[in-house]
Amino acid sequence: MVFRKPPDGGWGWVIVVVSFFTQFLCYGSPLAVGVLYLEWLDAFGEGKGKTAWVGSLANGIGLLASPVCSICVSSFGARPVAIFSGFMVAGGLMMSSFAPNIYFLYVSYGIVVGLGCGLLYTATVTITCQYFDKRRGLALGLISTGSSVGLFIYAALQRELIELYGLDGCLLIVGALSLNILACGSLMRPLESSSSPPPEKTCVDKLPDQYFVYHEKEKTVEENISILEKGYIDEKCVNNVPDCKQESILNKNVLSSININEKDTYKKKVVEQTNFCKQLAKRKWQLYLTYWKETMVLFKNKVFSALFVAILLFDIGGFPPSLLMEDVARSANISEDDYYMPLISIIGIMTTVGKLILGILADFKWVNTLYLYVTTLLMTGVALFAIPFAKSYLTLAMLSGILGFLTGNWSIFPYVTTKTVGIEKLTHAYGILMFFAGLGNSLGPPIVGWFYDWTQEYDTAFYFSGFCVLLGGFLLLLAALPCWNACTNQSSKLSPNTYSYKVASNA
């Protein structure tokens, strides 16, 4: 398959629009799962920690499975994966409306919907990168806001649907809306070149696979001729019986020679194919060893090691507010009459603003993106410490807006990773970091819920969350201050990565 040069426009803008709506439709409900979380608490009567697993799995499983998602998109293409994933998301949401217990939701909503969202994110990012080169940053920024806008709208939408049709009806309608992903996926036309057809196969390439023998050393001329003539004659026999007879007469001497040495030739083939399998296994093993050696080299970088700890602790402490803020307001006995807008909607719209503003700031040459990222971590920790002191809707809304804005630091995380390890190691390092980000997303809300089940109040839980984020920020700051320039210079001198590893993020 031959790809054209990215057009940086044209049908690419259609790709941007459908990718935006794809992320809007698939991530809207999982990111606004805090509204559903309250209903599941009342419906199943389970603890807050156990119930929080549903939303945390839906948001974390896509990051944990990012290598698998990348392999699927690379193997089958963005359009088939998007259409298949649309069925997964819609089916998982509709199945969740019939959930008899919380364990069923772990599978239907947590795993099925979460994995579908991970596949869709990878598909939208991959095909957008194929269509854009010079404007790739703008295109990716536009489609990434789809998830934030989805959080803003779905928080209010799901609340209204629950009041009108109940929890089951809400999930059925939201699942039906997700079927529009199929229409979006069908428009993800692959960027292929029809003007330059692939080169024709040579005569050797046209031979049947059964006559193509892998070998460790070159065969003799006589052996090659005998194998080729045997393959040619047998192919003739299948296609044309009269020609087969004539060809058999003309090549009688050759056939007799093959029959005499048939056993020896077969043994040689077996030995050669066995040697090939051994060589293939050896090469695969060498590739895995190379991958782990490069991973160990990354962790020798002090800033990268601190960054991996920081992203893990940030997601453990910083993700729970988007899931649990509605329950925090209910626990503070705030009346629903005081609600002007769902707190999750405020987080969603401010996340969009944060992504855009922080992304713009990262483009200025005088701004150090690492220090900017550390600042967002430290401010997030302080905001989390302030949540237990918020006893009114206004203060919770202000903290929700601050936390939403600071969560927009996802837009500058690729910049930070590039500064830390260099462009050559970006995909490898980013895949590792996204795995731990998904782990933090999966563990954060249940841990906060368990703290509530243990203490019957959220104060200790958010003190713990704030401590985690502050600890990650201070560790990253300490690692960066003395050796920031040394680490970046060292990473730029590292040998380029021979192998490319594609990843997905939930930025």
Please name the residues in contact with 410: beta carbons below 8 A apart, sequence gap of 6 or more.
144, 355, 505, 506, 507
Average pLDDT over residues 225-247: 48
Altogether, the residues listed in the chain come to a count of: 507
User: What is the pLDDT, as a whole number, of residue 422?
Assistant: 74
Same domain, yes or no: 363 and 462: yes
Q: What's phi and psi for 466, nearest 5 deg? A: -65, -40
The yes-or-no verdict on residue 93 having pLDDT over 90 is: yes
CATH number at residue 103: 1.20.1250.20
Ranking 61-75, 90-104, 402-416, 457-471 by mean pLDDT, the lowest is: 61-75
169 in the same domain as 31: yes
- 346 and 454 assigned to the same domain: yes
Question: In sequence order, what DSSP letters do the residues of 47-69 get, joined into one string?
Answer: -HHHHHHHHHHHHHHHHHTHHHH
CB atoms within 10 A of CB 239: 8
User: CA-CA distance, 388 to 214, in Å (whole number)?
Assistant: 68
Query: Looking at residue 259, what is its pLDDT?
Result: 54
**pLDDT above 90 (res 208):** no
Residue 269: count of CB within 10 angstroms of its CB: 16
- Which band of pLDDT confidence, cut at 50, 70 and 90, is reported for residue 193? low
Span 3-32, mean pLDDT?
84
| 293 and 144 both lie in a single domain | no
User: Average pLDDT, stretch 439-453?
Assistant: 84
334/474 same-domain check: yes
User: Average per-residue pLDDT in the chain?
Assistant: 77
User: Quick one: 8 and 122 in the same domain?
Assistant: yes
Measure the CA–CA gap between 146 and 148, rounded to whole angstroms.
6
Residue 456 DSSP one-character state: S
**pLDDT band with cut points at 50, 70 and 90 for residue 17:** very high
Long-range contacts from 263-270, C-beta under 8 angstroms, 24+ separation: 265/223, 265/226, 265/227, 268/223, 269/213
Helix (H) or strand (E) holding 443: helix 426-455
**Last residue of one domain, picked from the residues 150, 173, 191:** 191
Q: Could you say which of 131, 166, 191 is where a domain stops?
A: 191
DSSP letter at 270 equals: H
Query: Is the pLDDT assigned to residue 498 strictly greater than 80?
Result: no
Last residue of a domain, one of 171, 191, 211: 191
Please give the structure tokens belonging to residue 98.
């019939």
- 310 domain-assigned: yes
Q: Residue 482: what pLDDT?
A: 61
**Residues contacting residue 170 through CB under 8 Å, at least 6 positions apart:** 36, 97, 158, 161, 162
How much of the chain exceeds pLDDT 90, in percent?
Answer: 22
Q: For residue 312, tell me if it sits in a domain.
A: yes
Structural domain range at position 279: 274-484
pLDDT in tens, 360-418: 787 777 888 888 899 999 999 999 999 988 888 889 989 999 998 998 887 777 778 77
Per-residue pLDDT at 194 exceeds 50: no
Tokens describing residue 88: 């997964």
Please indicate, yes or no, if residue 213 is contained in any of the structural domains: no
Least confident of 45-49, 157-161, 290-294: 290-294
pLDDT tens by residue, 149-160: 888 889 889 989
Say what the pLDDT of residue 217 is. Answer: 41
Residue 183 lies in a domain: yes
What is the distance between the alpha carbons of residues 270 and 215, in angstroms, rounded to a whole number?
10
Contact by Cβ (8 Å): 492, 55: no
Total domains in the fold of the chain: 2
Half-sphere exposure of 233 (CA within 13 A, CB side): 17
Q: How far apart are the first and last CA of the chain?
A: 30
The pLDDT score that the predictor gives to residue 166 is 92
Asked whether residue 432 falls in the same domain as residue 338, the answer is yes
Amino acid code (one letter) for 483: C
The residue ranges of DSSP E strands in 71-180, in sequence order, are none
